Structure 1
Amino acid sequence: MTTTRTSTISRRSFRGAALALFTGAGIALTPLTATADAGGPAAGAAAAPVAVAAAPVAAPNHAAQVAVDTALAQQGKPYVWGGTGPGGYDCSGLTFSAYQAAGVSIPRTSRAQSTAGVHVDRANLQPGDLIFFYDPVGHVGMYIGNGQMVHSSTYGKPVAVVPVDSMYGYNTARRVV
């Protein structure tokens, strides 16, 4: 069996370009969990059907949708302490910049952002809501629907989509639009 390896850089560049194309066209994307079939098709057999993503979860309003789309378009960019883009972001810089692109002014730091808008119960999260972690607050991500959030977590890890439940120390959530 021969496998071909694609460089991480070219995959990230293609992924970023494709994401920018879709978000520029106003198409929202949601992540899909990958699955693998260990058996795979036999030589010469037709390929198995590819799973198609479910309809994206729409944000409750235009500003929240722009913020979500903007944050998602930053996937793969590096964590930069104090970064507000476009080359890199820290957690609150990502949410700050995403809402700035939507024409909404929010504070710059995660702790200050945790006092903006109105409280949202975890069970009532909607795309665009800000989710805060730790006590005192020290991290923020943006809910994108389907139990997922986009965030810039720490040095060495790029902006990524992760399950909200994969983060420990949930503190609160706020809706800013």
Structure 2
Amino acid sequence: MRIGITGHMDLAAPTVELVRTALRTALARFDPSALTGVSCLAEGADAIFAQAVLDAGGRLEALLPAPDYRDTRVSPAHLPVFDALTHRAHRVRCVAEASSMQAYADANAAMLDSIGLLFAVWDGVPSSKKGGTADAITAARARNLPVTVIWPEGARRLGSAGAGAL
């Protein structure tokens, strides 16, 4: 089973553990020997998912927008996690020559083309910018790709009063 991830980057600190636990529970139903997680390894939901896949005994595929993604888009605070996950990935691939909004859209499309299920760490709020989590969910559903929304009770994003569980 190939599972992709979309989700919020700006998770409140207590939410990280809630999401980690929910992802581990969701992944437990799959045979680890047949499990591949596909992630761009972004901070937040993507990185939590990638680690959960590895912890479950699955394989990780890092699908990056471009070779310069690490140096131009990954925050200094996230670099150690990004580098560790990249090192543990069984495959790292890029979809464009340089990071751009189009490269991010192309990476998202490539992920959706290569998976059988999408996990979405999503608070249910429409995207405030093009290419956000809600847009990825809409694109997956338009392809008739199954989507599992993960938003544990009590989860919230930074700066939010706390969106409800779906």
Q: Which has the higher helix share?
A: 2
Task: State TM-score, norm by structure 1.
Answer: 0.27
Q: Which has the higher Rg, Structure 1 or Structure 2?
A: 1
The answer to which structure, 1 or 2, has the higher relative contact order (CA under 8 A, 6+ apart) is 2
